[in-house]
Amino acid sequence: MLARFDDPAIERAYVASERDARIPGTRFLAAIGIVTLISYIGFNPMHFPIEGVLDYNLAAGPFILVLGGIIGLTFTRFYVDRPWIDLVIFSAMAVVMVMLIDALGSQADVTNISRLSMAVINLGILMVFASLGFVATTRYFLAWAIVLLALYAMFLLQADRGIVNKVYSFTNFTTFFTFACFVSWDIDRRARKTFAATLALEEERSKTEELLHNVLPEEVAKRLRQGETIADAYGDVSVIFVDIVGFSSLSKRLSPGHLVKTLNTVFGLADTSADRFGVEKVKTVGDAYLAVVGGHSSARRGPVDAINFAQDLITGVIKFSQESGIEVAVRVGIHTGNVVGGVVGSQRLAYDYWGNTMNIASRIEGVAAPNGIAVSEATYLGARDSALFTEPELMSLKGVGEMKVYRIVAED
């Protein structure tokens, strides 16, 4: 009956969410009350004497104003953020309901319904109405309902009726009380379960989104969810291929666990360098690391950033080799040109790049020296003022043909 979320922030979020969601229902209930009262205002003159009509209208008028005030209040943020207002609302409704009961009780000769019976009926209706109107505030409803029950018991004690009549009247009213408490509890229980399930679903969706964004750029993920085919063309992209020298020999000397740890360290250094210089990591394939500058998620665009990345990575690998005692080195090949990017397949999605530029960068990496950087003429022309290069070498690259290859002069 008094369920609450352990986290106060979640409890506040639940209450605000539930009150906001049930505003249309609250307005509808208040509107029904207004229509009912107005219909009686029009019906009573046909049966009540003028004094009875005036008494009823004097009681119904404030009741209509209270119900109209509820509707108006639901259009404000105050209603959502201040759930204690339900106590004020229904306390006011209890007062105007008593006024209405008194007006109707005075017409018992016409309605053939005693004041005591009128109290049971109308207060019972108010009790059930309140079980729906106290939105996400079951604790407040229970406190209000208990006070109303106590006041009704006091009313019975002073009523001019026999003990049997009083017992049956109180029993009838407690039936309304019990039913209303159950309705309030059950609505709140179901709403809390739905809210908790929604939170869990949102948490899982957030994890899925985070996982998706780890493998795909956010914009690409959004386009995929919209059913779009992902295919983009890029010009002047610097493609970087990194390969670990003598990986086969290294795998024979190290245990599987140590080998994976070493590989992870080298690629971790590459990730750090990529973040530092705005380079976009594409993927790892075995002992090779592929990255680009100028692609979809690159922070910068230019061969200079690609070379800075490579130099920073080699510096890190040399330091790791010296500290760990493991002889490990990398080769880096860079070529600048046009590529096509996109996502293919339906499983293990990743944003990939294709084109002859990729193949050339891979072949250039194969002729680089251990812990050395080899670049194409296109990359050289874009970075010649920012790094020292050797004289070009005309090389025959498998599947590419003859082309000029430049090497970066190693820093002292």
Return the exposure string of 157-176: e unless at least 16 CB atoms fall within 10 Å of the residue's CB, then b: eeeeeeeeebeebbeebeeb
**Same-domain status, 248 and 124:** no
Residue 284, sorted as left (phi over 0), alpha (psi -120 to 50) or beta, turns out to be beta
**Same-domain status, 55 and 169:** yes
Residue 408 has what DSSP assignment? B
Distance CA 176, CA 186 (A): 15
**Same-domain status, 257 and 332:** yes
**Same-domain status, 168 and 291:** no
Domain final residue pick, 176, 207, 238: 207
- Residue 156 in any domain: the answer is yes
**Same-domain status, 273 and 357:** yes
Instruction: Say what the pLDDT of residue 161 is.
Output: 77
Structural domain boundaries enclosing 342 = 228-407
**Same-domain status, 245 and 161:** no
**Same-domain status, 202 and 232:** no
In order along its 412 residues, the chain shows pLDDT tens digits of 577 888 899 999 999 999 999 999 999 999 999 999 999 999 988 888 999 899 999 999 999 999 999 999 999 999 999 999 999 999 999 999 999 998 888 888 888 888 888 888 899 999 999 999 999 989 999 999 999 999 999 988 888 778 888 888 899 999 999 999 999 999 999 999 999 999 999 888 888 777 766 666 667 777 777 777 777 888 889 999 999 998 888 888 888 888 899 999 999 999 999 999 989 888 888 889 999 998 776 656 689 999 999 999 999 999 999 998 888 999 999 999 999 988 877 666 778 888 999 999 999 999 999 999 999 999 999 888 888 899 999 988 888 888 999 999 876 5
**Same-domain status, 108 and 184:** yes
- Residue 219 in any domain: the answer is no
| Domains identified in the chain, total number | 2
State whether residue 295 is helix, strand or coil. coil
**Same-domain status, 70 and 156:** yes
- Residue 215 in any domain: the answer is no
CATH of the domain at 389: 3.30.70.1230
- Residue 46 in any domain: the answer is yes
- Residue 1 in any domain: the answer is no
For residue 404, the tally of other CB atoms under 10 A from its CB is 14
Distance CA 138, CA 396 (A): 81
Place of tokens 């990496």: 365
- Residue 299 in any domain: the answer is yes
- Residue 216 in any domain: the answer is no
Domain final residue pick, 207, 238, 262: 207
Whole-model pTM: value is: 0.59
Distances in whole angstroms, Cα of residue 374 to Cα of each of 299, 334, 370, 410, 412: 23, 6, 10, 11, 18
Distance CA 405, CA 258 (A): 35
**Same-domain status, 141 and 232:** no
Residue 46 has what DSSP assignment? G
- Residue 351 in any domain: the answer is yes
**Pick from 305, 335, 18, 389: which is nearest to 184 by CA?**
18
**Same-domain status, 199 and 247:** no
**C-alpha atoms less than 13 angstroms from C-alpha of 41 in its C-beta half-sphere:** 15
Instruction: Say what the pLDDT of residue 214 is.
Output: 66
CB 376 within 8 A of CB 392: no
**Pick from 106, 139, 105, 107: which is nearest to 123 by CA?**
105
Domain final residue pick, 155, 175, 207: 207
**Same-domain status, 30 and 123:** yes
- The number of angstroms, rounded, from the C-alpha of 313 to the middle of its chain's C-alpha atoms is 37
